[in-house]
Chains A and B, each alone.
Chain A
Amino acid sequence: MIEERDELVDRAARALSAMSPVKAGAVARVLMAVRASKVRPQPAWKRSVRWLEDASVSARAAGMLVAASLVVGFVLRGTVDVAGYSTQALSETPVALQTISDAGAESRGVPVAMVFELANAKSVAVVGDFNGWDPAATPMQRVGEDGPWSATLLAKPGRHTYAFLVDGSTLVADPLAAKATSPDFGGDASVMMVRTP
């Protein structure tokens, strides 16, 4: 069969290759949906299939797990509330973050979407007590060619100090968040509150 591509098909393919706009906080919403699916009680047939799939789990243990998950599921249903950092930033209120809360927040951390704008930066990373101030832990990705920087991180509920590390060397506090009064690392930092329900 002859190759089906030619100049016109190439043009059409290029036109369809344009990326769709991605809303800020989209990744955090996906993570929220993933976690929400975990706390939703499953139909009885699905639980049975899963139990049958895992031969290493005894019937007694499986029964206890199913019972426990049902209790947790019913208690936590409807408690999920999501919003991204950028939404909060748009309102220019001093508290840095709105949060996503779910059953695993205490142990796994809450997904937090962060957006930071600095046009001439070559690289930006989020550093804070939630990632041990590790410059490599949470690199931000540029949105478009000259758009803002974006990242999603996991932070346990509570108070956190953080900053943006620009070009690997300059720490910049979040201009729209409350300043940390006693930064852990000796430079400018900001405070965010990650909340549980």
Chain B
Amino acid sequence: MGSLRGKLSHTLGVRREYVSEFDPTLPVRAKHGDEQAFIGIVEFYYPRCLRFARNMIGSEQDAEEAVQDTFVRVHDSFSRFDEDSRFDPWLFRILANRCRTLMARNRRRQSLIEYGEIPISASAEPEVGADWAEEVQVVLNSLPMEQREAFLLRHVEDLSYEDIAAMTGVGLSALRMRVKRACDTLRARLD
């Protein structure tokens, strides 16, 4: 095992994939005060929540803040979690609310930016030569917030329309329309 020396953790900023399996008992145990269960939830969902927040907000730093706030609120609100309900929609409802709050804060900040200091990320057109993922992100950022959120929840986070409707309080047909319009825009801009 001598070969291990010096190999430990140069890993800040590494990519983390899903933890392979989620123990469905974790939310109930965490609700009843099992802190190791709460750690298990954070370990499992952190990467996925970070992905959603990054896609929604467009800023890595703000995304991390949104995710951290989300888990604080999850921990504080566990008494209101219905044990017979699925955990994902409840978690993503809190996360989506945090993202909206941060985006509103950012909009207020941006309104204070003087002419000539508009950030590059405000550009709505894909840059020539940008790779595919960047182009997709630019088009996504140009979508109205409601369409972006509905598209991400449905097609990236793979939640059902019924779950998204329960989370957001928006009717099924309106949700489908938001997703459809998002897809139409992606198609028109990326094709």
Cα–Cα distance between A86 and B14 once the two chains are bound (Å): 12
A188 contact set on B, CB distance < 8 A:
1
| Residue interface mask B155-191, A partner, CB < 8 A = 1 | 1100000000000000001001101100110110011
Q: Are A30 and B68 in contact (CB under 8 A)?
A: yes
Majority SS at the chain B contact face: helix
What band does the interface of chain A fall in when counting residues whose beta carbon is under 8 Å from B?
35 or more
Majority SS at the chain A contact face: mixed
Question: B146 at the A/B interface (Cβ < 8 Å)?
Answer: no
Question: A141 at the A/B interface (Cβ < 8 Å)?
Answer: yes
A12 contact set on B, CB distance < 8 A:
136, 139-140, 186, 190
Instruction: Return A7 CB to nearest CB of chain B, in Å.
Output: 10
Q: Are A19 and B11 in contact (CB under 8 A)?
A: no
Cα–Cα distance between A118 and B43 once the two chains are bound (Å): 20
Cα–Cα distance between A9 and B16 once the two chains are bound (Å): 24
Residue pairs across A and B with CB atoms within 8 Å: the count is 178
Question: B60 at the A/B interface (Cβ < 8 Å)?
Answer: yes
B114 contact set on A, CB distance < 8 A:
none
What band does the interface of chain B fall in when counting residues whose beta carbon is under 8 Å from A?
35 or more
Cα–Cα distance between A137 and B50 once the two chains are bound (Å): 26
Cα–Cα distance between A20 and B49 once the two chains are bound (Å): 9
Q: Are B183 and A18 in contact (CB under 8 A)?
A: no
Residues of chain B having any CB pair with chain A under 8 Å: 1, 4-19, 35-36, 38-39, 42-43, 46-48, 50-51, 54-55, 60, 63-64, 67-69, 71-72, 75-76, 132-133, 136-137, 139-140, 152, 155-156, 173, 176-177, 179-180, 183-184, 186-187, 190-191
Residues of chain A having any CB pair with chain B under 8 Å: 1, 4-6, 8-9, 11-13, 15-24, 26-27, 29-31, 33-34, 37, 85-87, 89-90, 92, 108-109, 111, 115-118, 137, 141-145, 147-148, 150-154, 172-176, 188
Other than the given A86-B9, A116-B9, A145-B17, 6 more pairs (CB < 8 A) read A12-B186, A19-B16, A22-B50, A117-B7, A174-B8, A188-B1
